[in-house]
Amino acid sequence: MLRPPRLLPRAAVLAAALSLLVPGFARAAASVSLQPAAGPAGSLVTLRGAGLPARRAATVRVGSRKVRVVADRRGRFVARVRIPQGAKGRPALITRAAGLRIANHFAVMGDTVDIGEVAGPGRVRLRWMPVRAQAGSPLALHGVGLPRHRRVLISLAGKRVAAVRSTRAGRFATVVTAPTTVGALVGVVRAGRLRLTFALNVLAEGSAPSTRPPASPASGTGDPAKAPAPAPVGPAPDKPTDQFPIRAAFYYPWFPETWGSGSSKYTHYHPTAGYYSSDDTAVIARQLDELRYGRVDAAISSWWGQGHSTDRRLSTLLSVTHSTGSPIKWAIYYENEGWGNPSPAQLASDLAYLRDKYASDPSYLKVGGRFVVFAYGDAGDNCSMVDRWRQANAGINAYLVLKIFPGYTGCAAQPDAWHEYAPAVRETGPPGQSFAVSPGFWLASDSSPRLNRDPGCFRQAVRDMVASGAPWQLVTTFDEWGEGTSVEPASEWQTPSGYGAYLDALHDNGAGAAPGPPC
């Protein structure tokens, strides 16, 4: 006997229709969160799955290790796994369940950093820092793999706090303010049909955020090794940054724009962290750790003017520096001086902007209470360049470090200090003012290097820099990959420390075996 078709309740029909017609009504996409998302190799991390097929088995793999879990009736799971002891770069943690594949990435660095990550199928990924934030403090967010050129809405505790637009590459980066409501809350990022949630723990103002990873619930599954995580590589001891000598590295926050398009990247080398984005807060946290390991006190960040992407990213650099508790300070490298002769009025406008927006930030570099500005130069510079800067700086009182030119010592007007930027020379600088070292110079468009890389020669250069006693001891550069001058880790100069031969040399102040000739 045929049964008549069962009629669905009216509410169920309406819900089904809405799920098709209204993107926000659709079932939340599967996602896996990772905390912490950065720290030393051997760290114990927690993964939390959501939106997976209910009561289905899933596996989490990191390296050769595999952990099996089962999602509950709501499609959730919790697993704790250990990052392999020898891991470097950004090892992937792959979750598979009923045809789904979700990849999280852990950034290996010397210290545990309070970064969270949530990933969805494909390349969708959101990172936020810190996970535990003081009320009213900055919260940095960075997303990749989003729909392109779409409005991105960010909410905290049910209230919209920001609206930005994703780039043509499907990325966004922004800094918002943690709410004043103390306790655990949920954040949501929406872009078209995409919806990602993240957890934030807001602490009372004045309480110190913990850098330790969050405890996992007792109901967590998985079988992590029980040995404690190894102690991280000890960073260089901190010293007051406004006391000479100051070791500073030139820094370029212009990726991924300058990697180039396609599979052929604009560099001869292969960064250990991959072809990253300067908007990625986990990348910045790793770089802060690397700078500190190299005994670098400050980074001189390339700056191309008010409202430029390098200006926007300076705000993110300062925010992540606060969030991580890093002692690194920041100054800017005024690039437009090298591509023309900005008028005193333009220079004064830019200096006032830098003073008003950044100079009061505790992570901005100051000498004697004055905010520091380095300026690039060109081959045609003469004493009139110094006169323009002196006129512009009247009443602003920035600490100016200008680039040398022939005859600079004879100028009637003098800046606070001079520097040289000549990456094709291993050791250079005006005596008594600054001393700069370069690991090598191989422009991406050149068929051969203009200065060969040699870790032994670089160690000798670092020894000479330290012995010089120069007030400004400069590294050219931390991350200028297009010119091949980076000391940032790459596969071509890997070492057991994980930081690479050139940061090792800086960490050791150049100690070690002397190079063979010639250097």
Compute the distance between CA of residue 143 and CA of residue 153 in angstroms, rounded to an integer. Answer: 12
- How many CB atoms within 10 Å of residue 182? 15
Pick from 234, 181, 174, 221: nearest CA to 203: 181
Residue 223: pLDDT band (50, 70, 90) is: very low
23-37, 282-296, 306-320: lowest mean pLDDT where?
23-37
Q: What is the mean pLDDT of residues 113-122?
A: 90
- How many CB atoms within 10 Å of residue 295? 21
Which H or E element spans position 187? strand 183-191
Instruction: State residue 100 phi and psi, 5-degree precision.
Output: -85, 145
**In this structure, are residues 459 and 508 in contact, taking their beta carbons and an 8 Å threshold?**
yes
Tokens of 4: 């008549």
Sign of the torsion angle spanned by Cα atoms 320, 322, 325, 326: positive
Q: Between these two residues, 112 and 109, which has the higher pLDDT value? A: 109
- Tokens 């729909």 correspond to 147
Per-residue confidence (pLDDT) for residue 390, from 0 to 100: 97
Tokens of 238: 């901190």
For all residues of the chain together, what is the average pLDDT?
Answer: 86
| Parallel, antiparallel or unpaired: strands 57-62 and 132-134 | unpaired
User: Is it true that the peptide bond before 232 is cis, omega within 30 degrees of 0?
Assistant: no
Residue 229: pLDDT band (50, 70, 90) is: very low
**In this structure, are residues 128 and 93 in contact, taking their beta carbons and an 8 Å threshold?**
no
pLDDT tens, residue by residue, 376-423: 999 899 999 999 999 999 999 999 999 999 999 999 999 999 999 999
Return the biggest CA–CA distance within the chain: 108
Q: Between these two residues, 187 and 111, which has the higher pLDDT value? A: 187
Amino acid found at 363: S
**CA–CA distance from 276 to each of 265, 281, 282 (Å)?**
12, 11, 10
Contacts of range 431-434, beta carbons closer than 8 Å, 24 or more positions apart: 432/470, 433/470, 433/471, 433/472, 434/401, 434/470, 434/471, 434/472, 434/473, 434/474
Q: Between these two residues, 475 and 496, which has the higher pLDDT value? A: 475
Q: Between these two residues, 201 and 346, which has the higher pLDDT value? A: 346
Compute the distance between CA of residue 329 and CA of residue 315 in angstroms, rounded to an integer. Answer: 13
Compute the distance between CA of residue 351 and CA of residue 207 in angstroms, rounded to an integer. Answer: 35
Amino acid found at 294: G
Per-residue confidence (pLDDT) for residue 238, from 0 to 100: 57
Task: Please spell the DSSP secondary structure of 112-139, one letter per residue.
Answer: ----EEEE-BTT-EEEEE-SEEETT-EE
Q: Between these two residues, 253 and 515, which has the higher pLDDT value? A: 253
Per-residue confidence (pLDDT) for residue 510, from 0 to 100: 94
pLDDT tens, residue by residue, 138-194: 888 888 899 998 999 999 988 999 999 988 888 888 888 888 888 889 999 999 989
Tokens of 457: 């020669």
Q: Between these two residues, 242 and 82, which has the higher pLDDT value? A: 82
Task: Domains for the chain: give ranges and CATH numbers.
Answer: 26-111 (2.60.40.230), 123-207 (2.60.40.10), 246-507 (3.20.20.80)
Pick from 118, 153, 124, 123: nearest CA to 23: 153
| Parallel, antiparallel or unpaired: strands 31-35 and 38-39 | unpaired
Per-residue confidence (pLDDT) for residue 513, from 0 to 100: 62
Per-residue confidence (pLDDT) for residue 242, from 0 to 100: 67
Sign of the torsion angle spanned by Cα atoms 479, 481, 484, 490: positive
Pick from 200, 173, 183, 187: nearest CA to 114: 200
Tokens of 455: 């870790």
Per-residue confidence (pLDDT) for residue 208, from 0 to 100: 52
Compute the distance between CA of residue 247 and CA of residue 299 in angstroms, rounded to an integer. Answer: 9
Compute the distance between CA of residue 516 and CA of residue 270 in angstroms, rounded to an integer. Answer: 26
Q: What is the mean pLDDT of residues 266-277?
A: 93
Pick from 482, 117, 457, 42: nearest CA to 271: 482
Q: What is the dihedral of CA 436, 441, 444, 449, to 10 degrees?
A: 170
- Tokens 């090792």 correspond to 504
